[in-house]
Amino acid sequence: MGYVASGLSLGINKNRVEVVLLKPMPQSKKEIKSFLGFARYYRQHIKDFASIERPLYKLCDKDAVFEITVDRVRAFESLRQALTTSPLLLITEFKLPFKLYIDTSGDGLGAALHQVQTIKDKPVEGPICFISRQIKPTEARYGESKMELLCLFWDLEKLNYFLEGCAFEVITDCTSVK
């Protein structure tokens, strides 16, 4: 449909993305919602998707006033760029261990699930998928350690279908969580 699959990886169909690249910045809430719907279809290919889309997502609120700002133009351009430069995702090998890279920012939680696979007789580490979400207003008050633990628990819940019964290593930059 919108993907190109090979024996080892899954990528975004560039023909579908080219149509979006030709379109200008959306000029209405309806156009923003349409663009975000298209981009969300490929969110597993885009690292930190929730943080990137945040300025545009805020425009979709019922009470939001439609206004084009520098942040929103930057978010639109970043998403378009991410759609065209997104990495190929490796096809999962459940017999091999995973690496779960977790990270938080001031406005989001995210993870990159990786795996080291042998490709052409060489070990290659590559992404299986990316997940992210915006933080809730109550979570914005959490300290660094609590936020990183929230991220870990959310990631484990979301990626349960990959990780349950499999060996995996969690990689974080938060020393208190290590």
Q: What is the pLDDT of residues 135-169, one digit of tens each?
A: 999 999 999 889 999 999 999 999 999 999 999 99
Q: Which of 46, 67, 85 is the last residue of a domain?
A: 85
Same domain? For 44 and 102 the reply is: no
Q: pLDDT tens digit string along 40-75?
A: 999 999 999 999 999 999 998 888 889 999 999 999
Structurally, how many domains does the chain consist of?
Answer: 2
Q: Is residue 7 part of a domain?
A: yes
d(CA 170, CA 98): 9
Same domain? For 42 and 99 the reply is: no
CATH assignment of the domain containing 34: 3.30.70.270
Comparing 15-19, 100-104, 113-117, 149-153, the range with the smallest average pLDDT is 15-19
* Domain of 8, in residue numbers: 3-85
